[in-house]
Amino acid sequence: MPELSSAHNELEHERTYVAGLYRRLDELRAEKQRQLDQVRRTIAAGSHQNRSERDAFATMYEDRLAQLNAVDDRLVFGRLDLDSGEERYIGRIGLSTEDLQQLMVDWRAPEAGTFYQATAFERMGVRRRRHLILSSRDVAAIEDDVLDASMLTDSGSLQGEGALLAALNSRRTGQMSDIVGTIQAEQDRIIRAPLPGVVVVQGGPGTGKTAVALHRAAYLLYTHRERLKSAGVLLVGPTDAFMKYIERVLPSLGETGVVMASVGSLMPGIHAEPEADEAVAELKGRLEMAAVIKRAVANRQRIPAENRKLNVEGSILTLTPRQVRRARDRARATGKPHNEARATFVKIMLRELTEQLTEQLEESSGAGNTADRSYLAEDVRTSRDVRIALNLAWMPMTPEKLLRDLFSKPAQLEAAAPHLTDAERFLMQRPEDATWTEADVPLLDEAAELLGELDASAGRNAAEKEQERRRDLANAERALENVSASLADAGVDGVLTAEALAEHNVVADARLTAAERASSDRTWAYGHVVVDEAQELSPMHWRLLMRKCPVKSFTVVGDIAQTSSTAGSHSWQQALEPFVGDRWQLEELTVNYRTPAQIAEAAVRMANAAGLVVSAPKAVRDGRWDPVVNRASELVPALLDALPKELEVAADGLLAVIAPVRLIGEVRAAVRKVYGDRVGLGAGGLGQDIVVITPREAKGLEFDVVIVLEPAEMLKPDSVRIGDLYVAMTRPTQRLRLIATGEVPEGIEG
């Protein structure tokens, strides 16, 4: 049995090598832990260092430790045998021996690119590509792609499912995992695309768009660390549940510096709900809303209709419309936002009113009286009448107040949006205390942009923060001297260099700041923005995102056919043209990794029959089951009847019941009654093995088994909801069942 034994030897060889890699990882961890403990002890013993010094050291070691801990699972996944005779191992991070001999190459390094790109036709110097399939820290199997025919006789005896199929067939957990070991060539090309410019990744369901977007973020941070470390990367997804679903991927790739935000949380301090009314979302999403907000702000700078009398300490001054107009025009001419230009307006008005008061007093006390009148300015400034008049003319304003007024006071909306029809304006009306929706977020941002900081001292705060940052840096540098000396005393050498600390401070500061500012600084300018499910974004959302990345470096992923929001896009050209013209590049993903062929085909047939043009990616595998269609007289009993069987198929994996919004409450209650806490409520309950969700909540997610209720309702011809049924049908990785009390949409049954 020579073949078997050679396979056995190969496996043993890899086991030994991989064990060595883990040993090295453990050594590095222990070393970092030791350094961390030592620095903590040393600093605790010294009395001069302040908190920021301690933090600077501790954070650096903690970060590195966290990174080393995060890469434990499937640390290494590949090996390249090159024409040169070199054997190159590819893994999550780079590892070297103490004397700097390379043990493993980071998957993002240029030398690792061929692992994903080499083919039998274009070998790129690769003779053999080996996938290592790990179980815990052991090698469970190896799988070879032999790219050199002369090597064929040496292998081929290794059995088992391919690494890719093994990954695709595994049970879902409610958390997305990385695909770093099995990235396919068409995906890799996009992941490694150059940083500048706008890359649009169009692909049907399950083609790995989300996976590609996340791996690209990790790749860019690794490859362009210098450029991105201070500006940061922003990753935007459709919902909080989706962000939770993907949150572990980047840490598992050793990256924690990406700021993640759902569309509803892009405005700091505001948590917006999805907009329930499609027509409102569409209206508020139109680009012309920018002009409406602009007018609404301008309308808050008001000229009084007539002269106004102001009492200042018993003297009566006159405020004329002409005076106000002139001061307003000069304040506007500063080009500053409303709240900041207000300072100019107020200064001019106070000066003019003080002059008026001075003249009055001079007249009454006789010409030539040169008494000191400097106190008059203070009298004018503190006069209640003056304050009220100036506020009426130019009220300081928050974005929230502006929009609340605009949508709850019809007269204000009419003044700001005279071109809209009465019906359109009526649609946008709502009570003053209504909750914010995702469609409001770009309008709030637009308003914030035009209003500027409410607190005139905010600018000073930024300057103070910068000063504080510099102080921290200086402190940390001093700390380095002290700590190095103490460590040298303790016999520890080479722990830290001045450059490393300075570098760390900058990195840590940038990372902290980027993450912090995502929630506190609306004006943060990112170095790169990754947008997932981008087809749902309205033109106003795009406008907001473009502002967040002035260098216009974007990775945009989505599927036009899955658009379910009326405000969303129906072509990438239409979405991007207003902002970048035709300066964007389209990439396509063509293979469906998620959905078995039978299910994918049924979804495409349904979409085509309904008149939706979909790019039908080729499914990478056949499933064991055809989609099942139940016609039932009563929905809930039919569902409860089907659940035990489907749960058996899902085994330890996940099952989703996807129901139209109208039915969601009733269905959730019925399923909960039988299955209790096993049922996750909404998309937030993805950890549980049964979830009951709407098509929109299901967006971007996947489950072992999916039961779609009342499919025809997700396909209403009076809306653009065709995408909803298409989304729902393309969520399963194993099995799909549809239950309908009415008709079943055409195409599903072949």
Ligand X SMILES: Nc1ncnc2c1ncn2[C@@H]1O[C@H](COP(=O)(O)OP(=O)(O)OP(=O)(O)O)[C@@H](O)[C@H]1O
**Least distance between ligand X and beta carbon 657 (Å):** 18
Q: Which amino acid is at 427?
A: L
- Report the nearest approach of ligand X to the CB of residue 557 (Å): 7
- Dmax over CA atoms of the chain, in Å, equals 123
The tokens for 367 are: 């010409």
Q: How far is the CB of 695 from ligand X (least distance, A)?
A: 12
CB 486 within 8 A of CB 49: no
Q: Could you tell me the smallest distance in angstroms from the CB atom of residue 600 to ligand X?
A: 10
DSSP assignment of 129-175 equals EEEEEEETTEEEEEEEEE-SGGGGGG-----S--HHHHHHHSPP-SS
Phi first, then psi, for residue 656 (nearest 5°) are -120, 135
> Which spans of this chain sit near ligand X (rule: CB under 6 A)?
164, 167-168, 179, 182-184, 187, 203, 205-211, 559, 562, 593-594, 700, 702, 730
**Which CB, 184 or 301, lies closer to ligand X?**
184
Annotated binding residue 203: yes
Residue 144, beta-bridge partner list: 130
Nearest distance in Å: CB 210, ligand X: 3
Report the nearest approach of ligand X to the CB of residue 588 (Å).
11
Rounded to the nearest whole angstrom, what is the least distance from the CB of residue 734 to ligand X in the complex? 12
Q: How far is the CB of 637 from ligand X (least distance, A)?
A: 31
For ligand X, the closer of residues 14 and 559 by Cβ is 559
Is 204 annotated to bind a ligand? Reply is yes
How many residues would you count in the chain?
Answer: 750
Instruction: Closer to ligand X by CB, 103 or 167: give it.
Output: 167
What are the C-alpha distances in Å from 184 to residues 164, 211, 251?
9, 11, 21
Question: 436 or 593: whose CB is closer to ligand X?
Answer: 593
CB of 333 to ligand X, least distance (A): 49
CA 366 to centroid of chain Cα atoms:
70
Q: Does 269 belong to an annotated binding site?
A: no
Choose between 211 and 659: whose C-beta lies nearer to ligand X: 211
Q: Minimum CB separation from ligand X for residue 740, in Å? A: 23
Show Cβ contacts of residue 553 under 8 Å, excluding neighbours closer than 6 positions.
195, 196, 197, 198, 527, 528, 529
207 belongs to an annotated ligand binding site: yes
Q: Tokens 């056995």 correspond to what residue?
A: 8
The pairing of beta strand 76-82 with beta strand 87-91: antiparallel
What's the DSSP call for residue 100?
A: -
* Closer of 183 and 476 to ligand X (Cβ): 183
CB-nearer residue toward ligand X: 404 or 699: 699
206 is known to lie in a ligand binding site: yes
Q: Which is nearer to ligand X, 207 or 484 (CB)?
A: 207
DSSP string, 417-463: -TTS-HHHHHHH---TTPPPBTTTHHHHHHHHHHH--SSTTHHHHHH
Phi, psi for residue 590 in degrees, rounded to 5: -120, -5
- Looking at the Cβ atoms of 233 and 495, the one nearer to ligand X is 233
CB 455: neighbour CB atoms within 10 A?
10
Distance of CA 104 to the CA centre of its chain: 30
Q: Order of strands, edge to edge, in the sheet holding 198-203? A: 258-262, 233-237, 528-531, 554-558, 198-203, 584-589
Residue with Cβ nearer ligand X (209 or 342) = 209
Q: What amino acid occupies position 74?
A: R
CA–CA gap between residue 178 and residue 163 (Å, rounded): 13
CB 439 within 8 Å of CB 278:
no
- Is 205 annotated to bind a ligand? Reply is yes
Asked if residue 33 lies in contact with residue 184, where contact means CB atoms within 8 angstroms, the answer is no
- Provide the annotated binding site for ATP: 203-210
Binding residues: 203-210
